[in-house]
């Protein structure tokens, strides 16, 4: 594909940020009788707290709007975010009206209601193979953002 083709592609993706480490178990190596020393204790949040889901987009020109998601994102939430942000982001980047939508094969993205909306509101949707790896370049931005977040002291919102 020529470079001009990729210059107008709008890559869309979401990411979850765990503020207090991973979702799974954390392995700890410590000296005997040191389990309660303050310097080796880490913060934790019970009942699934301490994470933030975000959805964003980017193109060769720059980044679009970032949408913070409260709760669980389903196909209806995804459609709402597309309606609110997709065209605004494309306009902000100067690729409207000829942008091409690229999204991965997440079931929310391929839901009938979202596919139907994209058919009528996106100039072109780029199809990806069913079992394709996540080659979306926005993954690089998520990694960079995650590294930047780790530099800040974050507190729990009550």
Q: What are all long-range contacts of 37-45, with beta carbons under 8 Å and residues at least 24 apart?
A: 44/20, 45/19, 45/20, 45/156
Domain ranges of the chain: 3-150
In the predicted structure, residue 119 carries a pLDDT above the cut 60: yes
List pLDDT tens digits, range 30-77: 788 877 777 766 666 666 566 789 999 999 999 999 999 988 899 999
pTM of the model: 0.77
Which candidate, 106, 99, 91, places its Cα nearest to that of 122? 99
Q: How confident is the model at residue 128 (pLDDT cuts 50, 70, 90)?
A: confident
The CATH class for the domain spanning 3-150 reads: alpha beta
The better pLDDT of the pair 84, 144 is held by: 84
């Amino acid at each position: 594909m020529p470079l001009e083709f990729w210059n107008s592609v709008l890559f869309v993706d979401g990411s979850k940020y765990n503020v207090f480490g991973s979702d799974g178990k954390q392995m700890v190596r410590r000296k005997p009788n040191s389990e309660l020393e303050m310097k080796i204790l880490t913060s934790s949040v019970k009942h699934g707290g301490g994470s933030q889901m975000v959805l964003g987009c980017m193109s060769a020109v720059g980044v679009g709007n970032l949408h913070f998601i409260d709760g669980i994102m389903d196909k209806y939430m995804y459609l709402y975010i597309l309606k609110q942000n997709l065209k605004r982001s494309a306009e902000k980047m100067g690729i409207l009206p000829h942008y091409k939508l690229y999204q991965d094969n997440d079931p929310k993205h391929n839901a009938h209601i979202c596919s139907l909306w994209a058919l009528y509101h996106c100039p072109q949707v780029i199809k990806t193979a069913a079992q394709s790896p996540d080659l979306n370049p926005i993954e690089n931005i998520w990694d960079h953002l995650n590294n930047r977040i780790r530099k800040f002291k974050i507190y729990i919102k009550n």
